Structure 1
Amino acid sequence: MFAKNTWYVAARSEELDGGKPLGRKVCNEAIVFYRQADGTPAAVEDFCPHRGAPLSLGFVHEGRLVCGYHGLEMGCDGQVVAMPGQRVRGFPCIRSYAVAERHGFVWVWPGDKARADASLIPSFHWAGNAEWAYGGGYYHVKADYRLMIDNLMDLTHETYVHANSIGQKEIDETPCTTKVDGDHVVTSRFMHGIEAPPFWKLALRGHGLPDDGPVDRWQICHFTPPTHVMIEVGVALQGHGGYDASADKKVSAVVVDFITPETETSHHYFWGMARHFQPHDAALTQAIREGQGRIFGEDMEMLERQQANLSAWPERKLLALNIDAGGVQSRRVIERLLAAEASTHTTAP
């Protein structure tokens, strides 16, 4: 269903900044995240070995996780450290997880901790770059994580689901191309001489460009395992090179999508936009974030209703059309990862 020996985004960094532990299920693993005394994140099983209470209902004291039921203290390695009035030698250990902090997110490796390698966390050219601004948020979505990947790798739905923001008929009318390079799937669409939809008119105005003339628009969706989708998007004033136009003639961005499985029918969705224009305009960042949040809210409603239908009629066959190529190829990459992980488990001594 989902690969475990890989890195997933578990939380935004600020979710751990309040001093409280955060309980979150990742790939069916119940995990509690918190910050240690030096500020680095830690992650252990969300299960107190005393009476089974969720440790996420406790608190953090001087960098140590304290159970909110009877005060048992856990170490970041899953060992019991202390408990009021009790000797803790011989207390059972709980599972600890490999965790790291990169790009403003907390990442977790829900599989074999011994195999975790922080160098495998992907890098992104926009992260920490002063020429880019980032704004985003989080949604809990009651749908199979692969449905979100399907959604993001086939943007023809924008014409219908997002008709009042980023959708337009030219998306339907313009063919897309899908290419696969190893585990990297790319679906591209380029539209020329069209009217900018409302969201992009806002962006053009924010960059000091006219919003009433024709533009060239692009959408380039990149899937990389285990579940990341980065979408290059933008519009340029017509006749200036489209995607390759100079920075003063276009507004461009990367739609950031980290999709983390929770269960077979739910996932965590960390969404955002890294934009390459007016990076220091905080008001523009907030306006774009609010607009993007509404757009993704529309996606969430559709996906959750879709999941409800699929769960109600699991025997029904679905159509595979040419517009589904990006999602189909992405699922094939996931299937290869699952097969490889299963093979490793089978051959392990």
Structure 2
Amino acid sequence: MTNAPRFPLNAWYAAAWDVDIKRALFPRTIAGRHIVFYRKADGAVAALEDACWHRLVPLSRGRLDGDEVVCGYHGLAYNAQGRCTFMPSQETINPSACVRAYPVAERHRFVWVWPGDPALADPALIPDLHWNKDAEWAGDGGTIHVRCDYRLVLDNLMDLTHETYVHGSSIGNRAVAEAPFETTHGERTVTVTRWMTNIEPPPFWAAQLGKPGPVDRWQIIRFEQPCTIAIDVGVAPAGTGAPEGDRSQGVNGYVLNTITPETDGTCHYFWAFARNYRRDDQALTTQLREGVSSIFKEDEEILEQQQRAMAANPDRVFYNLNIDSGSMWARRLIDKAIAAETAPSRLQAAE
């Protein structure tokens, strides 16, 4: 087994939904880093290394005092910048007493954290999931803790032919596995485009469209390095112009996914489904959230079984088909980002 890193650190990762971070200590492991989050009195989010400078006890076992975190073991206090402001039984504070503070940002209903070099934490690099907080779209989502390598979730989302076999009772039918597709890529993105014309809609989409007859269906999967995937999905009555750009007769949704590695074998999977129809129908929003959650539960079971099989067969390798082109390019971009971070250390080791 290789000890090479499996995820880049110089990247924005979703740490939580914005509503999950309150005036309380919220611990989470992100890319192998133990971090504690909390909201300050002004509403801004702070993120500190979850280990006291003194004896490494998790700060998340302590408490908030104003905007400072007080260790629950000996009472050392740290401000939002990670600097120790109080030590018990002494007036002089050791100048080295600090914990790491991580760059954080709020966007698209998520709290994002940058676990790598803080000097490189450019908010412009936060992945685009704007549909999750856009007046023209309505939706909701959730979080799944999956016991698998985060890249397996990416593989699953970049190749949707599995819908035919894993989700046949809801969103899948044979057209997904049989339709041609096109894969393109850039410096940070990979796109897989699939159109299925004049087909019978699967149960989920037939219910959303509410019209009889065959449909033109689309799936446009866009990966953004290192681990965010937005999927443009929908159906329109066959022959009404959707493949040419006129989707006005159909229904359109976005499946929003950002996967945050926790450890080498576990990850946090943040997802949402946004739609541009019946936006004021809260009952539909709840119904869709629960329905999509059930679909993703089927994926979770498959992925965890796959991870267990990989652990039981460490010398086995993956074989790729044409349908894997999207995930192969996504992994190449991830590997490229990792290599860019690790190259300097390799050069130093050689010296």
Q: Is 1:160 aligned with 2:165? A: yes
- Could you say if the C-alpha distance between residues 83 and 220 of structure 1 is closer, same or farther in structure 2, counting changes exceeding 3 Å? same
- Counterpart in 2 of 1:103? 108
* Off by >6 Å, runs of 4+ in structure 1: none
Distance in 2 separating the partners of 1:255 and 1:57: 36
Q: Choose from 136, 142, 148 the match for 2:147.
A: 142
Q: Is 1:282 aligned with 2:282? A: yes
Q: Is 1:198 aligned with 2:185? A: no
Q: Is 1:79 aligned with 2:83? A: yes
Q: What is the TM-score of this pair, normalised by structure 1? A: 0.92
| Aligned-partner residue type, residue 318 of structure 1 | F
After the TM superposition, which residues 1-349 of structure 1 pair with which residues of structure 2 at under 5 Å, given as runs? 1-17=6-22, 19-83=23-87, 86-87=90-91, 89-90=93-94, 92-204=97-209, 209-210=210-211, 212-244=212-244, 246=246, 248-346=248-346
Report if aligned partners of 1:235, 1:243 keep a CA contact under 8 Å in 2: no
Gaps of at least 5 residues in structure 2 are 1-5
Q: Which moved more, 1:195-204 or 1:216-225?
A: 195-204
The Cα RMSD (Å) is: 2.0
Distance in 2 separating the partners of 1:185 and 1:75: 41
Deviations 1:223-249 (A, max 9, x none): 110111111100111121124565541
SS in 1 for 2:131: coil
**How far did residue 139 of structure 1 move?**
0.6
- Could you say if the C-alpha distance between residues 218 and 49 of structure 1 is closer, same or farther in structure 2, counting changes exceeding 3 Å? same
| Aligned-partner residue type, residue 215 of structure 1 | V
- Could you say if the C-alpha distance between residues 50 and 125 of structure 1 is closer, same or farther in structure 2, counting changes exceeding 3 Å? closer
| Aligned-partner residue type, residue 165 of structure 1 | S
| Aligned-partner residue type, residue 82 of structure 1 | F
Q: What is the TM-score of this pair, normalised by structure 2? A: 0.92
SS in 2 for 1:158: helix
Q: Which moved more, 1:316-325 or 1:238-247?
A: 238-247
**How far did residue 84 of structure 1 move?**
5.7
Report if aligned partners of 2:67, 2:80 keep a CA contact under 8 Å in 1: no
- Counterpart in 1 of 2:3? none
Report if aligned partners of 1:227, 1:258 keep a CA contact under 8 Å in 2: yes
**How far did residue 291 of structure 1 move?**
0.6
**How far did residue 317 of structure 1 move?**
2.2
Report if aligned partners of 1:38, 1:63 keep a CA contact under 8 Å in 2: no
Report if aligned partners of 2:145, 2:267 keep a CA contact under 8 Å in 1: yes
Deviations 1:229-279 (A, max 9, x none): 111100111121124565541111111010111111111100111212122
Distance in 1 separating the partners of 2:255 and 2:287: 15
Report if aligned partners of 1:236, 1:245 keep a CA contact under 8 Å in 2: no
- Could you say if the C-alpha distance between residues 7 and 289 of structure 1 is closer, same or farther in structure 2, counting changes exceeding 3 Å? same
SS in 2 for 1:126: helix
**How far did residue 151 of structure 1 move?**
0.4
**How far did residue 83 of structure 1 move?**
5.0
Q: Which moved more, 1:238-247 or 1:265-274?
A: 238-247
Report if aligned partners of 1:26, 1:261 keep a CA contact under 8 Å in 2: yes
**How far did residue 161 of structure 1 move?**
1.0
SS in 2 for 1:9: strand
Distance in 1 separating the partners of 2:91 and 2:294: 53
Distance in 1 separating the partners of 2:90 and 2:288: 54
Distance in 1 separating the partners of 2:65 and 2:92: 18
Deviations 1:88-117 (A, max 9, x none): 611621111111111111111101112212
**How far did residue 344 of structure 1 move?**
4.3
SS in 2 for 1:249: coil
Distance in 1 separating the partners of 2:85 and 2:207: 54
SS in 2 for 1:196: coil
Report if aligned partners of 2:108, 2:131 keep a CA contact under 8 Å in 1: no
Distance in 2 separating the partners of 1:120 and 1:65: 29
**How far did residue 178 of structure 1 move?**
1.2
- Could you say if the C-alpha distance between residues 242 and 60 of structure 1 is closer, same or farther in structure 2, counting changes exceeding 3 Å? same
Gaps of at least 5 residues in structure 1 are none
SS in 2 for 1:311: helix
**How far did residue 55 of structure 1 move?**
1.4
Distance in 2 separating the partners of 1:283 and 1:324: 37
Deviations 1:3-62 (A, max 9, x none): 101111111101113x22111111111111111111101111111223322112233232
SS in 1 for 2:296: helix
| Aligned-partner residue type, residue 194 of structure 2 | R
